[in-house]
Amino acid sequence: MRLNYAQQSAPIFEKLRDLSLASKKSALEKEIKHLVDLRVSQINGCAFCVDMHVKEARIDGERELRLHHVAVWRESPLFNDRERAALEWAELLTKLPPQGVSDADFQAARKVFSESELSDLTFAIITINSWNRLSIGFAAEPGSADKFYGLDRANLN
């Protein structure tokens, strides 16, 4: 890693960590959180976070094939309507189209999620985008924090 941002900016790091922990405690399904974390990390090209979120999802019982299909979720039959809507919303907010998010896109998400769920989902998306940027910017090495986070339990070495 290029520098230890957790140490160099400890108070800010702690706030982002607190946001992550609060987001994990939201009412959204754990499966959706894992899928969104993985998809956003794939889009952003964050190897550290892709590695981490695959391992977290496996530890929580996610099926391996679904994890392989996240990159092609539109073509895959393995995801339900809520998961598809979450992945679509995650892609929109991660890529941010030049014209912004349309009312039609918002309404599509609202058909599937309550206001509080969509708000929680949006916070989850902005949180993983933040972690991706830190990990990419400071060149975090995939797998380097496995023991610290208990990800070695995934047995995916």
Q: What is the pLDDT of residues 38-97, one digit of tens each?
A: 999 999 999 999 999 999 999 999 999 999 999 999 999 999 999 999 999 999 999 999
Looking at residue 157, its pLDDT comes to 74
pLDDT at position 52 is 97
pLDDT of 29 over the 90 cut: yes
Distance between CA atoms of residues 91 and 101, nearest Å: 11
What is the Cα–Cα distance from 18 to 8, expressed in whole angstroms? 17
CA–CA gap between residue 129 and residue 15 (Å, rounded)? 15
Mean pLDDT of 101-108: 97
Residue 26 reports pLDDT greater than 90: yes
Q: Does position 117 have pLDDT exceeding 90, yes or no?
A: yes
pLDDT interval class at 11 (50, 70, 90): very high
**Average pLDDT of the chain to the nearest whole number:** 96
Domains and their CATH numbers in the chain: 6-151 (1.20.1290.10)
Can you tell me the distance from the alpha carbon of 35 to that of 136, in angstroms, rounded to the nearest whole number? 20
pLDDT at 142 over 90: yes
- Both structure tokens of 24: 């994990």
- Percent over 90 (pLDDT), the chain: 95
CA 81 to CA 87: how far, in whole Å? 10
| pLDDT at site 155 | 85
- The tokens describing 29, both together, are 């399904």
Distance CA 58, CA 43 (A): 20
The pLDDT of residue 115 is above 80: yes
pLDDT (0 to 100) of residue 133: 98
Q: Is 81 helix (H, G, I), strand (E, B) or coil?
A: helix
- In the predicted model, is pLDDT for residue 156 greater than 90? no
- Backbone φ and ψ for 101, nearest 5 degrees, come out as -90, 125
